Amino acid sequence: MESPLVQLKDVGFGYGPEPVLDGVDLTVGRGDYLGLIGPNGSGKTTLLKLILGTLPAPRRGEIRLFGTPAAQFKERWKIGYVAQKAASFNSGFPATVEEVVMTGLVARRGLWRVLTGEDRKAARAALEQVGMLSFKDRMIGRLSGGQQQRVFIARALVSRPELLILDEPTVGVDVQAESQFYQLIRDLRASMGLTVMLVSHDIGAVAHEVTSLACLNRRLFYHGSPDDFGTEEQLCELYGHPVRSIHHHHH
């Protein structure tokens, strides 16, 4: 049987003496679509950064990526990442949309081999996938926040990753762009067999889209089918206050 793409065992982490993550076990298999929810400061972004290797190794426990211990994992291009608030370039930032997307190839091709014709083709294909090809020559800072967000999704896709990690990708995008975003993820899962980890505060939308839901608040409170995550008790435990309903309209 194939190894899971991501496997956390008893992971504990803190930036200082305070634990930010504690005893986290989490497995993401190929083809999974995991929604990660939890209140502000609950450790979601920290968890993603540990997976991406941009933080020091966890204090406790183990992280394996594609079956390999994270410290030895070298095929970083297999993981595409859209950071929280990725889209915040000011209007003077000196790069075009196409150039920003091509920076997503550095992990695969190396820094000095970026600007080949093939890379340009890959960047254009990724922009096409997110519906932003017609903006390829526009300066990145001269796009709206939601348009920049799509460009960052293209940047994450350009290396043809097997796992796409998105940290609150729909913050600040309008209702139509949000539903287009979820449609895009559905399409990518169908066409590329992409595995997806998605952080969001929009529990309703996420529960409606994902194949499994994980609720983090330093510890993992729930990990399972979104259909079984219905009781208000669990939401109360997680957020500390009642939440109306997780059910969401169909897009």
Ligand X SMILES: Nc1ncnc2c1ncn2[C@@H]1O[C@H](COP(=O)(O)OP(=O)(O)OP(=O)(O)O)[C@@H](O)[C@H]1O
Task: Look at residue 43 and give the partner it binds from Mg ion, ligand X, none, a contact being a CB closer than 5 to 8 Å depending on partner kind.
Answer: ligand X
Stretch that binds ligand X, among 43-51, 174-182, 187-195, 227-235 (CB under 6 A): 43-51
Q: How far apart are CA 225 and CA 152, in angstroms?
A: 29
Task: Look at residue 20 and give the partner it binds from ligand X, Mg ion, none, a contact being a CB closer than 5 to 8 Å depending on partner kind.
Answer: ligand X
Residues that bind Mg ion (CB under 5 A): 44-45, 84
Residues 180-239 that bind ligand X (CB under 6 A): none
Nearest residue (CB) to ligand X, 109 versus 201: 201
Task: Report the residue number whose CB is nearest to Mg ion.
Answer: 45
Binding mask 60-89 for ligand X (x = CB under 6 A): ------------------------x-----
Q: Does 38 help bind ligand X (rule: CB under 6 A)?
A: yes
CB of 28 to Mg ion, least distance (A): 18
Beta-strand relationship, 21-28 and 68-69:
unpaired
Nearest residue (CB) to ligand X, 44 versus 64: 44
Report the residue from 5, 6, 11, 20 that binds ligand X according to the rule CB under 6 A: 20
Residues 6+ apart with CB under 8 A from 134: none
- For 12, the token pair is 């504990």
97 close to 151: Cβ distance less than 8 angstroms? yes
Residues 6+ apart with CB under 8 A from 52: 79, 81, 165
Nearest residue (CB) to ligand X, 140 versus 215: 215
Residues 6+ apart with CB under 8 A from 191: none
- For 26, the token pair is 């989490």
Task: Look at residue 42 and give the partner it binds from Mg ion, ligand X, none, a contact being a CB closer than 5 to 8 Å depending on partner kind.
Answer: ligand X
Stretch that binds ligand X, among 37-45, 71-79, 94-102, 158-166 (CB under 6 A): 37-45
Nearest residue (CB) to Mg ion, 38 versus 58: 38
Nearest to 217 by CA among 201, 232, 198: 201
Measured on CA atoms in the order 49, 141, 96, 147, is the torsion positive or negative?
A: positive
Order of strands, edge to edge, in the sheet holding 6-13? 21-28, 6-13, 60-65, 68-69
Which residue ranges make up the site for ligand X (CB under 6 A)?
15, 20, 38, 40-46, 84
